[in-house]
């Protein structure tokens, strides 16, 4: 396995706009208020896993998410992925996934399992 370490992290911060929600509604056919939908928050994890940690070539196997508080349009949301387990014999990495608003409130949390055999 590459130079992965327990506790290694990657983060990204984004502020979703009313236009982001409008475009999501158009694609999903969903009606909603100013709450950011779970798939948009989960997409932040997908971005981090595929570009930062573990990186390009990551195979996303499993994701579990919970939404303890709503994320709202205009809030700055920081997504973090953190390595919690390394299984070099199977090329697997487990990660904790969280999104928090600027006040530090967790708006999305979960875990991911990825295959890193083909990571560049």
Q: Which domains does the chain have, with CATH numbers?
A: 9-115 (3.10.129.10)
Q: Tell me, what's the pLDDT at 87?
A: 95
E-state strands within 1-120: 9-15, 59-66, 76-87, 92-101, 106-115
- Length in residues, the chain: 120
Q: What are phi and psi of 61, to 5 degrees?
A: -100, -40
What are the residue ranges in the chain where pLDDT is below 70? 1, 30-32
Tokens representing 71 are 């994320």
For the entire predicted model, the pTM comes to: 0.90
Q: Tell me, what's the pLDDT at 24?
A: 85
Q: Tell me, what's the pLDDT at 32?
A: 67
Q: Tell me, what's the pLDDT at 91?
A: 92
Q: Tell me, what's the pLDDT at 1?
A: 59
Q: Tell me, what's the pLDDT at 6?
A: 96
Q: Tell me, what's the pLDDT at 118?
A: 81
Neighbours of 67 (CB within 10 A): 18
């Amino acid at each position: 396995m590459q130079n992965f370490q327990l506790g290694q992290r990657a983060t990204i911060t984004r502020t979703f706009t009313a236009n982001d929600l409008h475009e999501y509604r158009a694609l999903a056919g969903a009606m909603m208020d100013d709450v950011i939908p779970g798939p948009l928050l989960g997409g932040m994890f997908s971005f981090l896993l595929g570009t930062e940690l573990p990186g390009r070539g990551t195979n996303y196997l499993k994701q579990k998410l919970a939404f303890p508080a709503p994320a709202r349009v205009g809030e700055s949301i920081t997504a973090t992925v953190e390595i919690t387990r390394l299984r070099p014999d199977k090329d697997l990495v487990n990660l904790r996934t969280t999104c928090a608003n600027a006040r530090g409130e967790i708006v999305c949390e979960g875990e991911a399992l990825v295959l890193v055999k083909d990571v560049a």
